[in-house]
Amino acid sequence: MTRATLVRANLGRHKRRTILTVLGLGIALFLFVTLQTFLHTLRSIGDIGSETHLVVTNKLGIVFPLPMAYRARLQAMEGVESVGYASWFGGIYQDPSNFFANFAVDPEYLAMYPEIVVSPEHREAFMADRTGAIVGVRLMERFGWQVGQTVTLQGTIYPGNHDFTIRGVYSAGRKGFDETSLFFHHRYLEEIARGQGMDGVVGWYVLKVTDPNQAAAIAQAVDEAYENSASPTRAQTEKAFNLSFIGMYGNIGFFLNAIGMAVVFAILMVSANTMAMSARERFSEIAVLKTLGFTDGDVLRIVVAEAAWIVGLGLALGLGGAVLLFNVMDFDMGGFAPGLSVSPGVALGAIGIGLLIATASAAIPAMQAARLKVTDALRYVA
Amino acid sequence: MKIPLIYNIRSVLHRPTTSLATALGIAFVVLTFVGMLALANGFRSAMISTGRPDNVMLLRQGADSEISSGISREHASIVRSLPEVAKLPDGRPIASADAYVVVAKPRLDGSETHMPVRGVSPEVFELRDEIRIIEGRSFEPGHAEVIVGRGLVGRMSDVEIGATIRFGQQDFTVVGHFEADGSAFESEVWGDAEMLMSAFRGPVYQSVTVRLADPNAFDALVARIEGDPRLQLQAKRESEFFAEQAQFLGSTLEFIAFFVTIVMSIGAVFGAINTMDAMVAARAREIAVLQTLGFQRRSVLASFLVEALVIALAGGVLGCLLALPINGIETSTMNWQSFGELTFAFRVSPKILLQGMIFAAVMGLIGGFLPARRAAKQGLAAGMRRG
């Protein structure tokens, strides 16, 4: 009889216990990976922001607009390659619970984002239609929209119902880039705004700079140029801008994470306890093995191999399941959290926890078993 | 014949380690459940406790928040003079036309947020009588002075009394701190509407709130406003408006709470089955004795279920006790719906604790069922031989 056979026999003896322990570990690790991936994805929004793009907003905050007249002066600034602008529209589709982002953008803005991938035919059709819109592929799926369809958005900032014709679909050129927005022509927004006395302004400018090393200097030059105007600006790299958005959530993510981790930890403890319990139950058996001539090292290896199997299967379930769900199947929790993807760092973390559990749950019983005197053990009643 | 409960309690106490391990697993799940729901509840109640039902808030037609709204001076004064609006003894309407903006400001920890700033009418302290100055004094109309809600104090920079906050091209002095029954107003900066309008958006209000002279006159007021062709306004009860502003983040937090706890509870149930199973196996002889004494299988099943329940409820109580200290811990976040910073406290309510206990009991019953059935099914002779 080989050691492998023994390990297999032991795992198979309490089938229900083995299966439940593996499942319990799998669930704890799955939750760990999901929580970490969620927070990691949120944090990585900052990394998506480009260093060659400067976002210029009103210094008072992003709900305050900037004059459209700034465009020409920004364009003329040294080191600025192109200037795009956009405005938040805030339209509601049928019901407020259908929330999605909708922006008015100028052609230059779209050109600045190679991540917004639109086929040439769609782009052309969009450019040719005054009320045309480009819609993210996930948003199309969510509402079952078709290209050519007219959708009506209720204005929140701009009162009334406004019609848009879907002329194109965009997909993200990079994983993690948003695919749930609707873009339309800024000219169309100006038409709407003119009727309501809200024209002549834009939400924010995006500057593409020729040299990323000059970005900070250009940002400073922009802010100085408008310092004493009625609408002072705040220019920052897109990365910093995105990070400041994430920062607004405050430490709520920290709290959720801390609470979630407490439970993951507890379940892991329970699993480890079960595994240690299994080992303790067999002291008299181990004594028999030792009588038969198995060395302490052999016994240790058997106990460790058992723990390794259980943890390995748990990891395969938990980590493998999360990778399958998020990375392969692209699960977005019903639109709640699109673009989740298990990062190598998070995966390594899960593997590390697995190793820790395997070691912790095997170490004490293994050591006890190895040190065990045969006569004591045979007397031991589990 | 029923096996007495004291047998189970003694049995649980007799195996402290195993019982504790199982109870701890359940306790931590209950702790998470209570903790996460307390976060969601705290956020919701801060918003829900904001405003009174007999105050009516008017926004521009179609606006979904104060930020996206705009009301002209002319329309504001029409609304103030409507007959449904309550009046002070001197004839002034109990109403406030608010200029509401959110301003990008850093928190003390360095992260950035949008601080809500509300310009109000002098009658606002009659309208929103939950406001109390706790330090310093109130702002003087016509002066560049503001008062700061206690939710922002200690979280944002430049909000101590005597500090200067710059809005646009104008400096405002902080002259007082106020509280407002834990409502969202406590996360706002208040000043004279006229002064703040000139610093920000110019002569446009974002909302007008009025007190109903007769609390039942809400429908009458709505009908009058909708029937007035000059006014493009929508009316909501003030309390309802703020409760709606909690919808999105509130349900998101609840979703996360339920997702995490449901997944975790499955893990805890597995752990409970394992430990109960081991317990049943270790007590084979004891069960056989019970059977010899004449206890029926049904009684053995019930007894082990009760034992699982005892452990689970102990875990539930422990989880609830562990969760209690988080009650009152304050945190703040950006509420995207109102687009402003909101400070709120974890709120552990009796309802949440009860839900946690029910949750623990369900976990105990599910986790205890299979082992209990195994115990009940055990043959008498086999049981005597084992152990």
> A60 to chain B nearest CA, in Å?
5
> A59 to chain B nearest CA, in Å?
8
Instruction: State the Cα–Cα distance between residues A287 and A273, nearest whole angstrom.
Output: 22
- Cβ distance B67 to A63 less than 8 Å, yes or no, reads yes
- Our CA angle for A223, A229, A232, nearest 5°, is 40
- Residue A379, pLDDT score: 66
- Pairing state of beta strands B145-149 and B95-106? unpaired
Which one is predicted more confidently, B297 or B315?
A: B315
**Could you say which of B25, B36, B104 has the minimum Cβ distance to residue A266?**
B25
Instruction: State the Cα–Cα distance between residues A294 and A292, nearest whole angstrom.
Output: 6
Instruction: State the Cα–Cα distance between residues A357 and A162, nearest whole angstrom.
Output: 58
pLDDT in tens, B173-224: 999 999 999 899 999 999 999 999 988 878 889 999 999 999 999 999 999 9
Interchain CB contact of A257 with B (< 8 Å): no
Average pLDDT over residues B145-166: 93
ipTM strictly over 0.85? no
Angle, helices A283-291/A296-322, rounded to nearest 10 degrees:
130
Instruction: Name every chain B residue with its beta carbon within 8 A of the beta carbon of A28.
Output: 264, 267
Q: What are the residue ranges in chain A where pLDDT is below 50?
A: 382
Instruction: Name every chain B residue with its beta carbon within 8 A of the beta carbon of A228.
Output: 169
> A257 to chain B nearest CA, in Å?
10
pTM reported for the whole predicted model: 0.82
What amino acid occupies position A52?
A: T
Looking at the DSSP bridge assignments, the partners of residue A258 are none
Task: For chains A and B, count residue pairs whose Cβ atoms are closer than 8 Å.
Answer: 173
Among all residues of chain A, which has the CA nearest to that of B340? A248
Please tell me the total number of residues recorded for chain B in this structure.
387
> Which of B206, B256, B274, B344 should we substitute to test contact with A (largest number of A Cβ atoms within 10 Å)?
B274
Residues 6+ apart with CB under 8 A from B257: B32, B33, B36, B37, B39, B40
Does pLDDT of B60 surpass 50? yes
- Residue A263, pLDDT score: 66
Please tell me the total number of residues recorded for chain A in this structure.
382
- Cβ distance A159 to B61 less than 8 Å, yes or no, reads yes
- Cβ distance A159 to B232 less than 8 Å, yes or no, reads yes
- Residue A124, pLDDT score: 94
- Cβ distance B28 to A267 less than 8 Å, yes or no, reads yes
Does pLDDT of B237 surpass 90? yes
Q: Which two tokens stand for residue A134?
A: 């480009």
SS3 readout for chain B: CCCCHHHHHHHHHHCHHHHHHHHHHHHHHHHHHHHHHHHHHHHHHHHHCCCCCCEEEEEECCCCCCCCCCEEHHHHHHHHCCCCECECCCCCECEEEEEEEEEEEEECCCCEEEEEEEEECCCHHHHCCCCEEEEECCCCCCCCEEEEECCCCCCECCCCCCCEEEECCEEEEEEEEEECCCCHHHHCEEEEHHHHHHHCCCCEECEEEEEECCHHHHHHHHHHHHHCCCCCEEEEEHHHHHHHCCHHHHHHHHHHHHHHHHHHHHHHHHHHHHHHHHHHHHCHHHHHHHHHCCCCHHHHHHHHHHHHHHHHHHHHHHHHHHHHHHCCCEEEEEECCCCEEEEEECCCCHHHHHHHHHHHHHHHHHHHHHHHHHHHHCCHHHHHHCC
- Cβ distance B28 to A277 less than 8 Å, yes or no, reads no
Does pLDDT of B387 surpass 50? no
- Cβ distance B270 to A64 less than 8 Å, yes or no, reads no
Listed range (A205-214, A359-368, B83-92, B247-256) with the worst mean pLDDT: A359-368
Among all residues of chain B, which has the CA nearest to that of A271? B271
Instruction: State the Cα–Cα distance between residues B150 and B344, nearest whole angstrom.
Output: 11
Instruction: Name every chain A residue with its beta carbon within 8 A of the beta carbon of B101.
Output: 60-61, 63-64
- Cβ distance A256 to B25 less than 8 Å, yes or no, reads no
- Residue A382, pLDDT score: 45
- Cβ distance B36 to A259 less than 8 Å, yes or no, reads yes
Average pLDDT over residues B297-326: 91
Q: Dihedrals φ, ψ of A310, to 5°? A: -60, -45
- Residue B100, pLDDT score: 93
Instruction: State the Cα–Cα distance between residues B258 and A93, nearest whole angstrom.
Output: 28
- Residue A377, pLDDT score: 66
**Could you say which of B39, B62, B260 has the minimum Cβ distance to residue A154?**
B62
Instruction: State the Cα–Cα distance between residues A258 and B258, nearest whole angstrom.
Output: 16
pLDDT in tens, A280-333: 677 777 778 888 888 878 878 888 888 888 889 999 999 999 999 888 887 766
Listed range (A56-65, B150-159, B188-197, B262-271) with the worst mean pLDDT: B262-271
Is-contact A204 A56, C-beta < 8 A?
A: yes
Looking at the DSSP bridge assignments, the partners of residue A132 are A165
> A57 to chain B nearest CA, in Å?
11
> Which of A39, A255, A259 should we substitute to test contact with B (largest number of B Cβ atoms within 10 Å)?
A259
**Could you say which of B111, B168, B370 has the minimum Cβ distance to residue A60?**
B168
**Could you say which of B22, B169, B256 has the minimum Cβ distance to residue A256?**
B256
Instruction: State the Cα–Cα distance between residues A13 and A131, nearest whole angstrom.
Output: 69
Restricting to A residues 130-169, those with a Cβ less than 8 Å away from any Cβ of B are 154-157, 159-160
- Residue B200, pLDDT score: 86
Average pLDDT over residues B346-356: 94
Average pLDDT over residues B105-117: 88
Instruction: State the Cα–Cα distance between residues B141 and B121, nearest whole angstrom.
Output: 8
Instruction: Name every chain B residue with its beta carbon within 8 A of the beta carbon of A232.
Output: 168
> B332 to chain A nearest CA, in Å?
6
pLDDT in tens, B6-57: 888 888 888 787 788 778 888 988 988 898 899 899 998 888 889 899 999 9
Left, alpha or beta for A131 (phi > 0: left; psi -120 to 50: alpha)? alpha
Listed range (A15-24, B114-123, B152-161, B309-318) with the worst mean pLDDT: A15-24
**Could you say which of B35, B270, B370 has the minimum Cβ distance to residue A24?**
B270
- Residue A267, pLDDT score: 67
